[in-house]
Chain A
Amino acid sequence: EPEVTQTPSHQVTQMGQEVILRCVPISNHLYFYWYRQILGQKVEFLVSFYNNEISEKSEIFDDQFSVERPDGSNFTLKIRSTKLEDSAMYFCASRIGTLNTGELFFGEGSRLTVL
């Protein structure tokens, strides 16, 4: 069964460094998302992406964050100048985009630890 894949599964970085989290959505899906989940808390929307551009972003998704789909398969989240409070699990998700289903398929997540 097709799956959303994410790398790395865990990244440890020093405060102020840049990180790139990578995702490969399911191949025939059209809508892509990044979510953040701080330990023990809710799943927070960061950004949605469709037709090679951001369709919507949250207040969390400020100039520190950017997304890219560089080659038609990968979908990346870049976090510049990381802060301690960026430590969280980052989930990528995709959905097919037809009207019959709105199910979000999540990757296993990338755990980011900022020291």
Chain B
Amino acid sequence: GENVEQHPSTLSVQEGDSAVIKCTYSDSASNYFPWYKQELGKRPQLIIDIRSNVGEKKDQRIAVTLNKTAKHFSLHITETQPEDSAVYFCAPNSGGYQKVTFGTGTKLQVIP
């Protein structure tokens, strides 16, 4: 099955600094690469996604970059704010009805 790992598992940054989280996957059939944010006690929610025909996508302070050859994609958050503190999960998949495996998760703490 799909092996999905994230690094680092925890990340602490000062408010205003940048944060980068990397997701590596094993299934070469994956063509949809989302990042979900899960605040404490809440459900996971999509924050940004990218398809395999695109190398980078940006939405205000967040961006995702994809290296399909190397089978990894990364979440970039610039100018971090305390409300960015959460657990972030990647979930690469092929978009069909098959299972969607979530990554191991990265707990981001933004220190005011």
**Which residues of A line the B interface, CB within 8 A?**
30-31, 33, 35, 41-45, 48, 50-51, 55-56, 58, 91, 97, 99, 101-104, 106-109
Contacts and interface: CB of A to CB of B under 8 A. Distances in A.
- Listed residue (B36, B44, B49, B89) with the most chain A CB atoms within 10 angstroms of its CB: B44
A42 B97 contact: no
B61 interface: no
B49 A31 contact: no
Given A42-B89, A104-B91, A104-B100, 8 more contacts: A30-B97, A42-B103, A42-B105, A45-B102, A48-B100, A51-B97, A97-B97, A104-B36
Interface residues of B, number: 24
A47 B38 CA distance: 21
Contacts of A97: 97
